[in-house]
Protein backbone atom coordinates (compact mmCIF):
# COMPACT_ATOMS: atom_id res chain seq x y z
CA UNK A 1 0.00 0.00 0.00
CA UNK A 2 1.26 3.47 -0.84
CA UNK A 3 2.08 5.52 2.27
CA UNK A 4 0.73 9.02 2.92
CA UNK A 5 2.77 10.77 5.64
CA UNK A 6 1.13 13.60 7.56
CA UNK A 7 2.78 16.82 8.67
CA UNK A 8 3.84 16.97 12.30
CA UNK A 9 0.87 17.64 14.59
CA UNK A 10 -1.73 17.05 11.88
CA UNK A 11 -2.74 13.59 13.11
CA UNK A 12 -5.13 14.73 15.82
CA UNK A 13 -8.39 14.58 13.85
CA UNK A 14 -7.64 11.03 12.65
CA UNK A 15 -6.94 9.97 16.22
CA UNK A 16 -10.44 11.21 16.99
CA UNK A 17 -11.78 9.06 14.11
CA UNK A 18 -12.67 11.93 11.79
CA UNK A 19 -12.74 10.20 8.38
CA UNK A 20 -11.13 12.84 6.14
CA UNK A 21 -7.48 13.72 5.48
CA UNK A 22 -7.16 17.16 3.91
CA UNK A 23 -4.46 17.67 1.30
CA UNK A 24 -2.96 20.50 3.39
CA UNK A 25 -2.19 18.05 6.21
CA UNK A 26 0.01 15.85 4.02
CA UNK A 27 3.80 16.17 4.18
CA UNK A 28 4.68 13.51 1.67
CA UNK A 29 3.27 10.68 -0.45
CA UNK A 30 5.65 7.76 -0.94
CA UNK A 31 4.83 6.70 -4.49
CA UNK A 32 2.29 7.76 -7.10
CA UNK A 33 -1.21 6.61 -6.20
CA UNK A 34 -3.96 6.63 -8.81
CA UNK A 35 -7.22 8.27 -7.81
CA UNK A 36 -9.33 5.75 -5.95
CA UNK A 37 -6.39 3.62 -4.77
CA UNK A 38 -6.34 2.54 -1.14
CA UNK A 39 -3.47 4.23 0.70
CA UNK A 40 -2.11 3.94 4.25
CA UNK A 41 -1.94 7.13 6.30
CA UNK A 42 0.93 7.50 8.79
CA UNK A 43 1.81 10.17 11.33
CA UNK A 44 4.99 12.24 10.95
CA UNK A 45 6.50 9.86 13.50
CA UNK A 46 5.71 6.89 11.25
CA UNK A 47 2.76 5.42 13.15
CA UNK A 48 -0.03 3.81 11.07
CA UNK A 49 -3.29 5.73 11.58
CA UNK A 50 -5.78 4.71 8.92
CA UNK A 51 -6.33 3.46 5.38
CA UNK A 52 -8.69 4.85 2.81
CA UNK A 53 -9.43 5.99 -0.72
CA UNK A 54 -7.03 8.50 -2.24
CA UNK A 55 -8.35 11.30 -4.44
CA UNK A 56 -6.99 14.54 -5.88
CA UNK A 57 -8.71 17.49 -4.21
CA UNK A 58 -9.13 19.15 -0.87
CA UNK A 59 -10.14 15.87 0.81
CA UNK A 60 -7.18 13.71 -0.21
CA UNK A 61 -8.05 10.54 1.72
CA UNK A 62 -11.47 9.22 2.79
CA UNK A 63 -10.89 6.75 5.57
CA UNK A 64 -12.30 3.22 5.37
CA UNK A 65 -10.48 1.69 8.33
CA UNK A 66 -8.69 2.89 11.44
CA UNK A 67 -7.38 -0.55 12.37
CA UNK A 68 -3.80 -1.62 11.84
CA UNK A 69 -4.65 -4.34 9.32
CA UNK A 70 -4.90 -3.79 5.59
CA UNK A 71 -8.49 -4.05 4.33
CA UNK A 72 -9.60 -7.67 4.56
CA UNK A 73 -10.96 -9.51 1.48
CA UNK A 74 -14.45 -9.49 3.05
CA UNK A 75 -14.31 -5.77 3.95
CA UNK A 76 -17.34 -4.83 1.84
CA UNK A 77 -19.51 -7.71 3.04
CA UNK A 78 -18.76 -6.84 6.67
CA UNK A 79 -19.44 -3.12 6.05
CA UNK A 80 -22.79 -3.75 4.30
CA UNK A 81 -23.85 -6.23 6.98
CA UNK A 82 -23.08 -3.64 9.70
CA UNK A 83 -25.21 -1.09 7.86
CA UNK A 84 -28.02 -3.64 7.48
CA UNK A 85 -27.91 -4.47 11.19
CA UNK A 86 -28.32 -0.79 12.13
CA UNK A 87 -31.44 -0.52 9.93
CA UNK A 88 -32.77 -3.78 11.37
CA UNK A 89 -32.35 -2.28 14.85
CA UNK A 90 -34.56 0.61 13.70
CA UNK A 91 -37.21 -1.78 12.40
CA UNK A 92 -36.32 -1.37 8.72
CA UNK A 93 -37.62 -2.85 6.55
CA UNK A 94 -41.06 -3.51 8.05
CA UNK A 95 -44.46 -4.46 6.62
CA UNK A 96 -45.24 -0.70 6.53
CA UNK A 97 -41.89 0.59 5.20
CA UNK A 98 -39.93 -1.19 2.49
CA UNK A 99 -37.76 1.73 1.33
CA UNK A 100 -34.94 3.29 3.33
CA UNK A 101 -31.30 4.36 3.13
CA UNK A 102 -29.05 1.36 3.57
CA UNK A 103 -25.67 3.12 3.44
CA UNK A 104 -25.19 6.76 4.36
CA UNK A 105 -21.56 7.61 3.59
CA UNK A 106 -19.52 8.71 6.58
CA UNK A 107 -22.42 7.86 8.90
CA UNK A 108 -21.84 4.20 8.05
CA UNK A 109 -18.05 4.39 7.94
CA UNK A 110 -18.15 4.36 4.12
CA UNK A 111 -17.31 7.91 3.00
CA UNK A 112 -18.43 8.63 -0.56
CA UNK A 113 -21.04 5.84 -0.79
CA UNK A 114 -24.83 6.13 -0.76
CA UNK A 115 -27.11 3.12 -1.20
CA UNK A 116 -30.89 3.40 -1.03
CA UNK A 117 -33.11 0.33 -0.75
CA UNK A 118 -36.41 0.21 -2.65
CA UNK A 119 -38.15 -3.05 -1.83
CA UNK A 120 -35.14 -5.16 -2.79
CA UNK A 121 -33.63 -2.84 -5.40
CA UNK A 122 -30.42 -1.09 -4.30
CA UNK A 123 -29.67 2.25 -5.94
CA UNK A 124 -26.01 3.15 -5.52
CA UNK A 125 -24.44 6.58 -5.84
CA UNK A 126 -20.65 6.89 -5.61
CA UNK A 127 -19.48 10.37 -4.63
CA UNK A 128 -15.77 9.49 -4.74
CA UNK A 129 -13.46 7.85 -7.28
CA UNK A 130 -12.62 5.08 -4.84
CA UNK A 131 -16.26 4.12 -4.30
CA UNK A 132 -16.93 4.31 -8.04
CA UNK A 133 -14.06 1.93 -8.70
CA UNK A 134 -15.25 -0.38 -5.91
CA UNK A 135 -18.81 -0.68 -7.18
CA UNK A 136 -18.44 -4.26 -8.47
CA UNK A 137 -17.16 -5.44 -5.06
CA UNK A 138 -19.96 -3.50 -3.37
CA UNK A 139 -22.51 -5.17 -5.65
CA UNK A 140 -21.09 -8.61 -4.80
CA UNK A 141 -21.28 -7.76 -1.10
CA UNK A 142 -24.94 -6.75 -1.49
CA UNK A 143 -25.63 -10.11 -3.13
CA UNK A 144 -23.80 -11.95 -0.34
CA UNK A 145 -25.66 -10.07 2.43
CA UNK A 146 -29.17 -10.05 0.96
CA UNK A 147 -29.23 -13.27 -1.11
CA UNK A 148 -32.58 -13.88 -2.78
CA UNK A 149 -34.20 -10.73 -1.35
CA UNK A 150 -31.95 -8.60 -3.61
CA UNK A 151 -33.79 -7.86 -6.86
CA UNK A 152 -31.32 -5.49 -8.55
CA UNK A 153 -28.42 -3.11 -8.05
CA UNK A 154 -28.57 0.10 -10.09
CA UNK A 155 -25.52 2.35 -10.33
CA UNK A 156 -26.62 5.99 -10.59
CA UNK A 157 -23.28 7.70 -10.10
CA UNK A 158 -23.11 9.75 -13.31
CA UNK A 159 -24.35 12.86 -11.50
CA UNK A 160 -22.40 12.29 -8.25
CA UNK A 161 -18.95 10.84 -9.05
CA UNK A 162 -16.20 13.40 -9.71
CA UNK A 163 -16.33 14.07 -13.43
CA UNK A 164 -12.76 15.44 -13.53
CA UNK A 165 -11.38 11.99 -12.78
CA UNK A 166 -12.16 10.86 -16.35
CA UNK A 167 -14.29 7.90 -15.24
CA UNK A 168 -16.71 6.29 -17.64
CA UNK A 169 -19.89 7.58 -16.05
CA UNK A 170 -22.80 5.67 -17.53
CA UNK A 171 -25.68 4.70 -15.26
CA UNK A 172 -26.86 1.12 -15.42
CA UNK A 173 -27.65 -2.13 -13.65
CA UNK A 174 -24.80 -3.98 -11.96
CA UNK A 175 -27.09 -6.88 -11.09
CA UNK A 176 -30.62 -8.04 -11.92
CA UNK A 177 -32.33 -11.08 -10.39
CA UNK A 178 -35.04 -12.95 -12.32
CA UNK A 179 -37.56 -11.34 -9.91
CA UNK A 180 -36.61 -7.79 -11.04
CA UNK A 181 -39.66 -6.09 -12.53
CA UNK A 182 -38.33 -2.80 -13.95
CA UNK A 183 -37.56 0.68 -12.71
CA UNK A 184 -41.08 1.75 -11.91
CA UNK A 185 -42.00 0.42 -8.50
CA UNK A 186 -44.62 1.10 -5.90
CA UNK A 187 -42.96 1.28 -2.48
CA UNK A 188 -44.44 1.64 0.99
CA UNK A 189 -43.44 4.26 3.56
CA UNK A 190 -45.28 4.14 6.90
CA UNK A 191 -48.04 2.28 5.06
CA UNK A 192 -48.41 4.93 2.33
CA UNK A 193 -47.83 3.96 -1.32
CA UNK A 194 -45.46 5.87 -3.58
CA UNK A 195 -44.47 5.35 -7.20
CA UNK A 196 -40.69 5.57 -7.48
CA UNK A 197 -38.56 5.50 -10.62
CA UNK A 198 -34.86 5.56 -9.73
CA UNK A 199 -33.76 5.74 -13.38
CA UNK A 200 -35.66 8.97 -14.07
CA UNK A 201 -36.22 10.55 -10.65
CA UNK A 202 -34.10 13.09 -8.75
CA UNK A 203 -31.28 11.70 -6.56
CA UNK A 204 -32.01 7.97 -6.13
CA UNK A 205 -35.71 8.47 -6.89
CA UNK A 206 -37.25 9.47 -3.54
CA UNK A 207 -36.29 11.68 -0.59
CA UNK A 208 -36.09 9.03 2.10
CA UNK A 209 -34.64 11.39 4.72
CA UNK A 210 -38.03 13.03 5.39
CA UNK A 211 -39.88 9.87 6.47
CA UNK A 212 -40.23 10.78 10.18
CA UNK A 213 -41.10 14.41 9.40
CA UNK A 214 -43.77 13.33 6.91
CA UNK A 215 -45.25 11.19 9.67
CA UNK A 216 -45.50 14.31 11.85
CA UNK A 217 -47.25 16.20 9.04
CA UNK A 218 -49.80 13.38 8.91
CA UNK A 219 -50.29 13.70 12.66
CA UNK A 220 -50.97 17.45 12.51
CA UNK A 221 -52.99 17.37 9.28
CA UNK A 222 -56.56 16.60 10.49
CA UNK A 223 -58.94 19.33 9.37
CA UNK A 224 -56.16 21.65 8.22
CA UNK A 225 -55.71 23.31 4.82
CA UNK A 226 -52.19 22.30 3.79
CA UNK A 227 -49.69 23.85 1.37
CA UNK A 228 -46.70 21.67 0.40
CA UNK A 229 -44.00 23.80 -1.26
CA UNK A 230 -41.14 22.10 -3.15
CA UNK A 231 -43.21 18.92 -2.93
CA UNK A 232 -41.20 16.75 -5.41
CA UNK A 233 -43.32 13.55 -5.73
CA UNK A 234 -45.69 14.64 -2.95
CA UNK A 235 -44.31 12.85 0.11
CA UNK A 236 -45.73 15.32 2.63
CA UNK A 237 -48.94 15.77 0.60
CA UNK A 238 -49.84 12.07 0.73
CA UNK A 239 -49.36 11.91 4.52
CA UNK A 240 -51.45 15.07 4.92
CA UNK A 241 -54.28 13.69 2.75
CA UNK A 242 -54.23 10.30 4.48
CA UNK A 243 -53.99 12.05 7.85
CA UNK A 244 -57.29 13.86 7.23
CA UNK A 245 -56.35 17.29 5.85
CA UNK A 246 -59.31 19.33 4.62
CA UNK A 247 -57.41 20.35 1.50
CA UNK A 248 -53.84 19.89 0.18
CA UNK A 249 -52.12 22.01 -2.47
CA UNK A 250 -48.75 20.79 -3.82
CA UNK A 251 -46.25 22.98 -5.64
CA UNK A 252 -43.06 22.05 -7.54
CA UNK A 253 -41.41 23.52 -10.63
CA UNK A 254 -40.62 20.08 -12.07
CA UNK A 255 -43.31 18.78 -14.43
CA UNK A 256 -41.98 15.22 -14.09
CA UNK A 257 -42.31 15.43 -10.30
CA UNK A 258 -45.84 16.84 -10.51
CA UNK A 259 -46.90 13.99 -12.82
CA UNK A 260 -45.78 11.56 -10.11
CA UNK A 261 -47.59 13.61 -7.43
CA UNK A 262 -50.83 13.09 -9.36
CA UNK A 263 -50.20 9.35 -9.62
CA UNK A 264 -49.39 9.13 -5.90
CA UNK A 265 -52.47 11.15 -4.97
CA UNK A 266 -54.60 8.86 -7.19
CA UNK A 267 -53.36 5.88 -5.12
CA UNK A 268 -54.94 7.47 -2.00
CA UNK A 269 -58.38 7.81 -3.62
CA UNK A 270 -58.55 11.38 -2.22
CA UNK A 271 -57.79 13.39 -5.36
CA UNK A 272 -60.90 15.53 -4.77
CA UNK A 273 -59.10 17.19 -1.86
CA UNK A 274 -55.85 17.86 -3.76
CA UNK A 275 -54.56 20.40 -6.29
CA UNK A 276 -51.24 20.29 -8.18
CA UNK A 277 -49.39 23.43 -9.23
CA UNK A 278 -46.37 23.09 -11.51
CA UNK A 279 -44.81 26.48 -10.90
CA UNK A 280 -42.18 28.42 -8.98
CA UNK A 281 -42.82 27.99 -5.25
CA UNK A 282 -41.69 31.50 -4.35
CA UNK A 283 -44.00 33.11 -6.93
CA UNK A 284 -46.84 30.87 -5.75
CA UNK A 285 -46.31 31.91 -2.14
CA UNK A 286 -46.14 35.62 -3.08
CA UNK A 287 -49.53 35.31 -4.75
CA UNK A 288 -51.05 33.41 -1.78
CA UNK A 289 -53.48 35.44 0.35
CA UNK A 290 -52.78 35.54 4.10
CA UNK A 291 -54.72 32.97 6.08
CA UNK A 292 -55.42 30.63 3.13
CA UNK A 293 -53.49 27.74 4.68
CA UNK A 294 -53.25 26.36 8.24
CA UNK A 295 -50.15 24.22 7.67
CA UNK A 296 -47.33 25.11 5.28
CA UNK A 297 -44.35 22.89 4.43
CA UNK A 298 -41.22 24.59 3.11
CA UNK A 299 -38.64 22.02 1.93
CA UNK A 300 -36.48 23.73 -0.71
CA UNK A 301 -33.48 22.21 -2.49
CA UNK A 302 -30.02 23.04 -1.09
CA UNK A 303 -29.71 26.75 -1.95
CA UNK A 304 -26.05 26.69 -0.83
CA UNK A 305 -24.00 23.84 -2.27
CA UNK A 306 -20.71 25.35 -1.02
CA UNK A 307 -19.50 28.04 1.38
CA UNK A 308 -19.06 30.65 -1.35
CA UNK A 309 -22.80 30.61 -2.03
CA UNK A 310 -23.73 30.87 1.64
CA UNK A 311 -24.69 34.53 1.98
CA UNK A 312 -27.01 34.55 -1.02
CA UNK A 313 -28.53 31.28 0.14
CA UNK A 314 -29.19 32.62 3.63
CA UNK A 315 -31.00 35.64 2.18
CA UNK A 316 -33.11 33.38 -0.05
CA UNK A 317 -34.03 31.08 2.87
CA UNK A 318 -34.91 34.10 4.98
CA UNK A 319 -37.23 35.61 2.34
CA UNK A 320 -38.93 32.28 1.80
CA UNK A 321 -39.48 31.69 5.51
CA UNK A 322 -40.76 35.21 6.08
CA UNK A 323 -43.26 34.72 3.24
CA UNK A 324 -44.50 31.42 4.69
CA UNK A 325 -44.72 32.69 8.29
CA UNK A 326 -46.55 35.85 7.26
CA UNK A 327 -49.16 33.91 5.25
CA UNK A 328 -50.05 30.98 7.49
CA UNK A 329 -53.37 31.37 9.31
CA UNK A 330 -53.42 32.43 13.00
CA UNK A 331 -52.73 29.31 15.08
CA UNK A 332 -51.17 27.66 12.01
CA UNK A 333 -48.08 25.49 11.68
CA UNK A 334 -45.02 25.91 9.45
CA UNK A 335 -42.65 22.99 8.82
CA UNK A 336 -39.46 24.59 7.54
CA UNK A 337 -36.31 22.77 6.41
CA UNK A 338 -32.85 23.25 5.00
CA UNK A 339 -30.81 20.39 3.55
CA UNK A 340 -27.71 22.53 2.81
CA UNK A 341 -24.74 20.94 4.55
CA UNK A 342 -23.03 24.34 4.88
CA UNK A 343 -26.01 25.85 6.77
CA UNK A 344 -25.62 24.46 10.27
CA UNK A 345 -28.36 24.05 12.87
CA UNK A 346 -27.58 27.31 14.65
CA UNK A 347 -27.36 29.37 11.46
CA UNK A 348 -30.64 27.88 10.32
CA UNK A 349 -32.38 28.76 13.60
CA UNK A 350 -30.98 32.31 13.34
CA UNK A 351 -32.28 32.81 9.84
CA UNK A 352 -35.73 31.54 10.78
CA UNK A 353 -35.61 33.90 13.76
CA UNK A 354 -34.78 36.85 11.46
CA UNK A 355 -37.56 35.81 9.08
CA UNK A 356 -40.06 35.63 11.95
CA UNK A 357 -38.99 39.02 13.32
CA UNK A 358 -39.52 40.52 9.87
CA UNK A 359 -43.18 39.41 9.92
CA UNK A 360 -43.92 40.70 13.41
CA UNK A 361 -45.97 37.56 14.17
CA UNK A 362 -45.63 35.67 17.44
CA UNK A 363 -43.75 32.49 16.56
CA UNK A 364 -42.90 29.55 18.83
CA UNK A 365 -40.66 26.59 18.04
CA UNK A 366 -42.67 23.49 18.93
CA UNK A 367 -40.39 20.82 17.49
CA UNK A 368 -36.87 20.41 16.11
CA UNK A 369 -36.55 18.11 13.14
CA UNK A 370 -33.74 16.21 11.43
CA UNK A 371 -32.99 13.38 9.02
CA UNK A 372 -34.20 9.87 9.88
CA UNK A 373 -32.09 7.28 11.70
CA UNK A 374 -31.34 5.45 8.44
CA UNK A 375 -29.27 8.58 7.59
CA UNK A 376 -27.03 8.18 10.66
CA UNK A 377 -24.42 10.71 11.74
CA UNK A 378 -21.08 9.36 12.94
CA UNK A 379 -20.41 11.05 16.24
CA UNK A 380 -16.88 11.66 14.98
CA UNK A 381 -18.17 13.42 11.83
CA UNK A 382 -20.79 15.97 12.93
CA UNK A 383 -20.78 17.46 9.40
CA UNK A 384 -22.98 14.50 8.47
CA UNK A 385 -25.99 16.16 10.10
CA UNK A 386 -27.30 17.93 7.01
CA UNK A 387 -31.11 18.04 7.27
CA UNK A 388 -32.42 20.56 9.75
CA UNK A 389 -35.97 21.59 10.35
CA UNK A 390 -38.16 23.51 12.74
CA UNK A 391 -41.84 23.14 13.41
CA UNK A 392 -43.26 26.58 14.14
CA UNK A 393 -46.54 27.51 15.75
CA UNK A 394 -47.55 30.93 14.43
CA UNK A 395 -50.11 33.00 16.34
N1 LIG B 1 -40.21 17.74 -0.08
C2 LIG B 1 -39.78 16.78 -1.08
C3 LIG B 1 -38.33 16.96 -1.49
C4 LIG B 1 -37.97 18.32 -2.00
S5 LIG B 1 -36.58 18.34 -3.02
C6 LIG B 1 -40.09 15.38 -0.60
O7 LIG B 1 -40.51 15.19 0.54
O8 LIG B 1 -39.92 14.45 -1.38
C9 LIG B 1 -36.68 19.93 -3.69
C10 LIG B 1 -37.69 20.10 -4.81
O11 LIG B 1 -37.74 21.49 -5.12
C12 LIG B 1 -37.38 19.40 -6.12
O13 LIG B 1 -38.44 18.54 -6.45
C14 LIG B 1 -37.27 20.53 -7.18
O15 LIG B 1 -37.87 20.17 -8.41
C16 LIG B 1 -38.05 21.62 -6.51
N17 LIG B 1 -37.70 23.01 -6.86
C18 LIG B 1 -36.48 23.56 -7.01
N19 LIG B 1 -36.58 24.89 -7.21
C20 LIG B 1 -37.91 25.19 -7.19
C21 LIG B 1 -38.66 26.39 -7.30
N22 LIG B 1 -38.05 27.56 -7.48
N23 LIG B 1 -40.00 26.33 -7.19
C24 LIG B 1 -40.63 25.14 -7.01
N25 LIG B 1 -39.96 23.98 -6.88
C26 LIG B 1 -38.63 24.00 -6.97
- Which domains occur in the chain, in start order? 2-65 (2.30.130.10), 75-186 (3.30.750.80), 207-394 (3.40.50.150)
- Do 118 and 205 touch, CB atoms closer than 8 A? yes
Q: Which residue numbers in the chain have pLDDT < 70? A: none
Q: How confident is the model over 53-106, as pLDDT tens digits?
A: 999 999 999 999 999 777 899 999 999 999 999 999 999 999 999 999 999 999
For residue 26, the SS3 value is strand
Q: Which amino acid residue places its CA nearest to atom 1 of ligand 1?
A: 231
Give the number of other CB atoms < 10 A from CB of residue 74. 11
H-state helical runs in the chain? 12-15, 75-89, 129-133, 135-146, 211-220, 235-243, 255-268, 281-286, 310-327, 345-359
Helix, strand or coil, per DSSP, at residue 222? coil
User: What pLDDT score was predicted for residue 305?
Assistant: 77
Neighbours of 218 (CB within 10 A): 20
pLDDT digits (tens, 9 = 90+) for 281-339: 999 999 999 999 999 999 999 987 788 888 998 999 999 999 999 999 999 999 999 99
Q: What is the 3-state secondary structure (H, E, C) of 273-333?
A: HEEEEECCHHHHHHCCCCCCEEEEEECCCCCCCCHHHHHHHHHHHHHHHHHHHHHEEEEEE
Q: Would you state the pLDDT for residue 166?
A: 84
Residue from 101, 194, 252 to probe ligand 1 pocket by mutation (most atoms less than 8 Å from CB): 252
User: What separation in Å is there between the alpha carbon of 261 and the centre of ligand 1?
Assistant: 12
**What is residue 265's predicted lDDT score, i.e. its pLDDT?**
98
Give residue 270's Cα distance to chain centre.
29
In the chain, pLDDT over 70 holds for what percent of residues? 100
> Which atom of ligand 1 lies nearest, measured to the CA of 301?
9
Over the range 253-273, which residues count as b (16 or more CB within 10 Å of their CB) and which as e?
A: bbeebbebbebbbeebebeeb
Q: Which of 71, 76, 29 is nearest to 51 (CA)?
A: 71
Name the residue of 300, 320, 335, 387 to mutate for ligand 1: max ligand atoms within 8 A of Cβ: 300
pLDDT at position 337, please?
A: 98
CB of residue 257 inside a 6 A radius of ligand 1: yes
| pLDDT score of 77 | 97
For a mutational test of ligand 1's pocket, the pick from 297, 301, 387, i.e. the residue with the most ligand atoms closer than 8 A to its C-beta, is: 301
Amino acid sequence: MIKVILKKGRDESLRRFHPWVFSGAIAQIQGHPHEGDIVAVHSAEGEFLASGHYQIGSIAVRVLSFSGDPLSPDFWTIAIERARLEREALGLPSPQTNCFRLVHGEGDGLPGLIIDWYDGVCVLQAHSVGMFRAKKSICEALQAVFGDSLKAVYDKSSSTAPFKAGLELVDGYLYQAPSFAGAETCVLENGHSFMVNWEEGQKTGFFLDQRDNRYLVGKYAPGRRVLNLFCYTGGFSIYALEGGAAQVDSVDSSAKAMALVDRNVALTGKADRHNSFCTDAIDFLSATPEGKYDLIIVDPPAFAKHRGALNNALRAYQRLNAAAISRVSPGGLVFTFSCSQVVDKITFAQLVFSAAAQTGRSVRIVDRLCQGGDHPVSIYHPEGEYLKGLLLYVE
